[in-house]
Structures are given as structure tokens and as C-alpha cells.
Structure 1
């Protein structure tokens, strides 16, 4: 706060040869408002803030005089421009300030203040920390020990190695140690203002007090019991703690409310998209009964992911991946194990069926010449029938690193293509190849920074537990460098859904 006050005093108060009392009140008010907005000052703090600003403004003018004016009294060229360190000083103000500092009136004032400064014998080495900061530091390093004025005065004049370079100060510090020892032994008694520091240095000046910092008078210090001062600090800390707790509760309540609202909104979107999907199927498929598909959807498992996806329709889901998914309870882990066991049994049965089909080499290609499909799909099906099947070939693809975050090779079997053409269940490989194609389209349109893809292999039911799959998804999201919409396949069991993952990097 003191540094901030110093910046305000230097930059907002004009550099003029006037006293602080002559500075316009609106400028002082601006300084106070800026400090009050940035820091918790409390009632009655305005006077101390402005007093600190006045001293810092005066010290700033003294620094300019000693370092940038007096050393160059015979070099007018160097005095023609303000110092580069303080670019906020206007040229007209600098010229007027330099002229005032080179006048004969200032020479007499400067000489008078220099003589006063020489009378200060015991200079401290606290810099900006101050006695308040020193006291806090000693309370941390010396718990349970009462820190009095004499201890603060002595520590404030030590260097970073604990030594006192000034012989005069070292002599007074030695006297303070002796007096403290006598007080602890009961040979010397202290009361009110007649404490160890007063015995060592002599009586205080009226209205001021040594080794306690600015703004504290002898009456305030000696008439206010020490326990009361400590309890005030404790009360302040307790009030701040209560305030933080209240704000935390408000934020948590707001977060819960927002979560519930988003869940309700997501449910509405899913239901609306499902109805739209069913209506589209009713128009495309003759004698289609939507109630049958609705029943199958409602009876599907709640969360399982499959490596099979259907190209018969789409839905929208919002997925929020949290880093702490791995911290699931034991009950959920048991459910996952049972679920994985069931999936493995189904997968073994499916593999047996596939092996039997592959051994027999019976793949229903069908007559694609009359089907309603794009010509490119018909051409692909004919290629499967005439080339891939007779020669037992596959289609190989390389998926670049920028598609899923890691480069890998994959392939399509003939049955993958025939299943796709026949509107049957398709494998995760088909979805991955299609995502690769979408990435190429987005790349041509310079939209790869807006839309990203998540590898179906990382979210399929065969890719470990739900916790493992969640970590893979979270890792994919964290490796991106912008706010994107991520697309990933999601299969709740019987009907595949197209999942959209919105990840906010801010």
C-alpha cells in the first residue's frame, strides 16, 4: 500500500515548489479514493493515507534535487529535460522546478535542512518495511516473546547479518541489552513511558514516539493496554475470515444453482433433438414406428460407452470432464467392474460371431446399383465387391497428429464398409476415419482452431475403466491452446449419439 501511495503522489501531484497544504483538495481526494478502492484501509484511515502521500511527495522532490539537479548545476544541457526514469513529468513543470531549486532562497533552506539532518545520530535500516512490518516478522520468528520498543529499535538498526555498523548505535544497543537484563532480574522497574528505550535514549519529544512507526502518539501507545491492541488485530483477522467464509458459501450456492440450470437445459435439448430425430426417421423410413425406438432408448444403460456407433441419427450431449473423476467411491467402482464384465462377455460373443462370418467369408454386399445413395458410396461398394473381397485386402489410413493429438495408423475392413452402406452398426474405426475427413474439411476452411476431435478409441468401452477414459479425454482437452468445441462419439448402449464437449479454457 505504501508503494502504491508513493506512485500516486509522484504521478498525480504536480511537481511545483509549494507545500502540501497548497495542493488542491481534489487531487488529494483522488489519491484517497484510489487507495481506498485498492486496499482495506478502514475508518479514520484517510488522514494517515494523505499524510503518507505528503511525505512521499516531499521525499520525491528531495530525490530529484539531490540526484538530478544539484550534481549538474554547471551543466545546463542535462537540466533541460526531465529524467528519463520519470517520463510523466511535464517539461514546463520540470523547468519551473529546476529554476526554484537553483535559486538563492532554496540554497539557504537546503543548508538549514542539511544541518538538521546531521543531528540524526541513530539511523534505522528498515527501508519500506517499517516498524509494523518488523514487529510482524519478529512475532513469527520469536513466538511467545513480548516485543517491546527497545527490541524493535535495536533490530531496526542491524544489517542483514545481525551486525550494527554504526559505533554510536552499537553503544546504545549494548546499553539496551544491559537494561533488559536488569529488568528481567528485577533490579530495574519500568512503568508507563519510563521504559527501557527511554532510559537508554532519554525522554521522548512531545507528540512523537520512537520505534513504533508514524501516526502513533505517546498517549495512544502508553494508555492503550497491550492485550487490547492484540485483541484488535485478532478481531480484524476473525472478521476477515468470517467474510471470506460467507463469500465462499455464496459462490458455492451460485455454482450449484448454475449446475442445476445447465442440467435442466441439457435435458431439454436432448429431448428436443430426440423428437426431431424420430420425426426425421418417420419421414425417411416407411412404416416406421417411433414408439419402438423410444422404448429401446429409455431402456438403454445410463452411462456405458461402446466402440460401436450408428450412422442413423444424432443427438447433442454436454460433457464436463473433471480432473478428480479418478476419486470415485467404492460403490461406483463395483458397478464399473460388473459393467466391464458384462461388456467383455458381449464382446467375446461378438468376436466369435465375427470369426465365424470371416471363416465362411460370407459378406452380404447386396445390389447397390438401385439403392438411393451417393454415387461415391456406390462406387466404394463396388470396389469392395470386386477388389477388396476377392483379394482379401483392407483400406489403410494414416491419421495425422493434429487430428486427435497423436499420429496413428488405422485400417478399414470390407465388412466395415458394407455395414456403413447397409445402415448397420459401424465400428469406432469408421468414425475415426470420418473424423479425419472432417478435419481435412475444417483445415481447408481455416476452422481447426474452432473445432477439435477426440479419438473414439480413447472413449470406447474397451479402453479401460470410465476413470481411465475420463483422464484420456481430460488430457486431450488440456493439450489444446484455445477455446474450442470438441466432437466425440458417445454410445449409451442401443442408439449412438454425437457428443459435443464444450471446454472453456478461461
Structure 2
């Protein structure tokens, strides 16, 4: 009887291994699996049928267990253990492994490229596990000489390859990697006691027990139904508990017991209606106290993503109101004692410096009710949207875990923040803002879906391990020591003088009275309040500007246009009146139409906040043309485009005979921002360029530079 050439080699002959008289006898262990029945299958015989899910890579059918075992045999026998990692295994060798698997099993889904990818990923996992077993059981054995022959004969590894593998495992660099992996493993305070079948086998076992129980109940009740309704799926918090329950009934650890007790309590509350699951916030998430990790789902098994299990996230927040309230209260409790002391100390220091410099404090303004403030603190700044900044921050160096650790960026630590992107920070993490890049290709220690390497992290907030963050004063030589430059009293430094007023505005905002009729509004004394956070945004330079700052800039541009004698040429749209929030589409359209019809300017400039991103439009009503500026080079927003087109069509025919035809939109090739928060500064720059340059036509000829603005 012949066998196929690509099947795993037969086991080596079992010969006795003579050990030294002084060496202790080797412990009897499980021998290597060979699947001899599969290896001796006659040529041309029908291959075992196995169905593989292309999405998850899970095998199904009566031969699925044999298939999983065979993947481990292929990983052990077909891949050299001296490769550093699975990525270093040649593509040609992986293709041969795939052909070998198809020769032994009939996989109907083999034509799907995803099936090949998932199966080879499983082979890679089995190969890494095999190397790990070789390391812990044999390569690091105390009496290495007594096991060399045994390992080589047991696994068919040549002595040369085995010696090379053992040397790599005794290298100091590998020791560091091993210790780091052991430290990570220690973080798992609730280990499971499942077999290699994992949650998939556990769920199958539980479902079989439920089916058996239903059949027994049907038999005892005397039911004649031949079809029994399938049992309900096993909830993941039930699987999580059973996976950490020993045969004695005890939990594997104290941490696992605490979570199990919380699960029992939440189940009781859910049965009474006092606890209601909400999206991804179910019983297990609430019991553990941490949201799901991106890319996987706890107590479900490998290959299942969050979207596949829970479905697409809703446009609104998926955090339950109770959980959100709990997080908010935790933040308040943590900051209540420290924020007053820290902010007051800094405030008093700044005020004392102002008095010593002879700067008088402004009189206390009469603060009236403020208009509704449009939120500009979404994705352009801290994406978490929940973090409360205590103001306690400092410059720092950001390092990655190497030996020794290596500086990859400079940034700022925000102490007091407890969440980042709506995810609570771990006890060994801090919130940092990346301000300067040192190594664009360095990996992020705590990556996100959008940011994987340091080069993508400029002007963004991230979670960073505490032990990899060092104050600039603590770093040996991050940069040469340089005394802080202080402007001369006789030098007019607006930014420096502005920062000195921030402490004043912390107590009382500055009230600026402006004539809103300059922008087509019917309120001559419209109050504009400048708060300390508005000036902090400008001084920091790394935050999205609020609508108050843009309003103040437009007021300044109006005065600039008056001094230049162009007030009859340029007009400005009031930002609050054209935003999507705060007024209806009809109100915005009516405001634009009435303002252009009454003022009859040649050019109108408007700043538009689109999803926390500032953009700009330039409207030429007499030409029926609209110019679009966006520092991210996005297309015109349909909402704004609709109200402007409708407003232009509604103008009197006496002013513009073409107003009944659709307006022509021109998208200029303007400057493109590098980061994610400087959009407001780009809008301010374009407005200033247009007013000072007296631009009224030839927009596509003047605005042709896509390079980012330089400070």
C-alpha cells in the first residue's frame, strides 16, 4: 500500500536513550501526534470533508478535530524552528503547506482566499506554540545533554538545528523578550482552565448538555413531538464563569471570584429589571468594569470581531447612561480634591507675577447670559470628549519598550485625566499629547485603530505607559539645556501678553461688545464673551478653535477691511447663524439671503464648522459663484451647499439675473493641514490673505499651493 508523498513523515523508531547514571530519569510525557491513519490513506481514497468558515477560520464537521490536529503536525514537521518568527517563513514554503493541507482534506471553501489566510494563520499559531513548548520543556532544561537526543528523535529535528535553536533561546536579547512576555502574562489575574478546544469546545459541550436535558424533559412529559426546539445560545458571561471554574467548583483566582460574584448579582438585577444591557455594555462588560478591547470579544473565541458579535455601533454613544454616570462621578471624585489646590496655586503665582510686573488687573465686567455655545470639542481635540483637564500638565519625553528604552517623541502629560477616547485609562497609563516626532516609524505602545506608529500621532491624544514617560528634566540629554527666553518689556509680544491675561479670564470672562448688524443680525449690542479656555486654545496651538475665537477674528477682519477702504467689497457671515446646530435650515438660508440682499457686497466670507472641522466658503452673489476652502481637501458639505444654493436662487432678479440658475462651486487647491486640530488657523489665514490681498477673482490661479502652512 502506497502513501502520499506530502504527508507527515512516520515517527522515528523508538530506541532506548541511555542516560547518564547521575542524571535523573526523564519524566514521561505525551508523545508527538502523528495521525498514522491519515498518513496511510490510500492514494485516490476520498479525503475527509471539512468545512472552514472564511471569516473566523473555524473548522466544522465530524473531521474538524482531526483537521485541527493535522495543522499542528504540519506546523511542527514542515516549518524550521530556527526562523525568528512566522513572517520570516518564505511565502513559497507557506504555499507548499497550503497544498499539503488541501491534499489531505477536502475543503469546499478553499477557493476563497480568506480561507487560506485564516488556515495559515492557525498554522503559524501552532508553530509558535510548538516553539514555546520546546523552549520551556527542553531548551531551558537544567541537564541539556540528556535531552538532546530525545528531542531530535521525538520531533525529527537535526542536531545542528536543535543546537542553533537552543543558542537563540539562551541569548540575552531573547531573555529580555521572555521576561517581558512573562510580565504581560502576570497581568492576567483571572486565568481560564479550558482545554485546547477553547470557548468553541466549551460552547459545544454546553449546547449538547442543554439538548440532552430538553430531550429528557420531553420524554418524561410524554411528549410525542419528534422535533425539539433548539436550546437558546449560551451567554458569554456564563461561558466566562465556567471557563474559570475548577473541577472542585472553586474559581481560579480571587479576581475571577470577584467578577463571578458581580456576574451573579447583575443576573439577579437583570431578572428584576433593574439592570438593562445596552449595546456592548452587557453583564460581562459591567462585571469586569472595562469595555471590549478593539479587534476581539471576550469569552467568544478567536476570529470573532466586535462588529460581528455586537453588530455595527450606533451613531450615538453605546455606553449605558448608568455606566456613563458612574464614570463621570469617578472623574469628579478623583479631581475634586486636587483641582482646587493645583489651579489656585498656579493662578496665584500668575497673578503675583503680573502685579510684580506692574500690570493692573481689569475691572470686573458685568457678565450677562451668554448665547448658546456651539461645541467644537469633538474629533479635532480630545476624542474622548469626557476627560476633565485639571490644568496640571508638563513637557515630557515619550519612550518605547526597548533595551534600553528609546525616545521616539516629545509631548505633554495631562495628569488628572482618567479616560481617553471614552475608554478608562489603566492604572499604569497616562494621557499624553504628542507635539514633536523623533521616530516616525516607531510603534505606539498602546495603539489605536487610527494610530499605529509615532508618525501618525502628531497633535493627537494617546494613552502611554507611565514608566515610558519621563519629564524633560529627568531625561539625560533629550535636548540641550536652554534658558527660557523672556521678552523685553519694550518689545510688543502679543502672544506673551495674551498668556498673561489667561489667569484673569479664569475668574471672570472678558465681555466684548460688538455691533452684530455688521453681519446682518438685528442686535446692535450683541455680547461676545472671551473665556480663559479660548485664549488657552490659541496659546497652546494644538486644539481646535472655539466659535468665539472665530467670531473675534471675523470682527478683527471687518475692522481691517474698514481701514483698507474695502467695507463695500467684503462682507462676513456670522458663524453661529450658518451652523447646522442651533437653528433650522430655513433660518440659515433666510439669514444668508437677507444679508446679501440688504448689504449688496461683492464678496462674502463664511467660516463653517462641519463635524468639529472648520471650513470656509467665499460667495460671489453677483457672479453666482461659490469658492470652497478645506484644509483636509474634503468636498463641499451638502447641508451648507444646499442652503447657499437656495439663498442665491432666492435673491431678487434685479440684483442678479443669473440667480435662478444653480451656483457654480469652485474647489480651490488650498493649503492642506498636517495634523488634526489646526483647521481654525487655516481659515483665519485664508481670510486675512483675501482681505489684505484684495482678492476678488482668479481664485484658482492664486490658491494653488497644497503645502501645509509653516509657523
Common topology (TM > 0.5): no
- State the TM-score bracket (shorter-chain normalisation): 0.3 to 0.5
- Greater strand share, structure number: 2
Q: Kindly indicate whether structure 1 or structure 2 has the higher relative contact order, using CA contacts under 8 Å at least 6 residues apart.
A: 1
The TM-score normalised by the length of structure 2 is: 0.30
The TM-score normalised by the length of structure 1 is: 0.41
Q: Which has the larger radius of gyration?
A: 1
- Greater helix share, structure number: 1
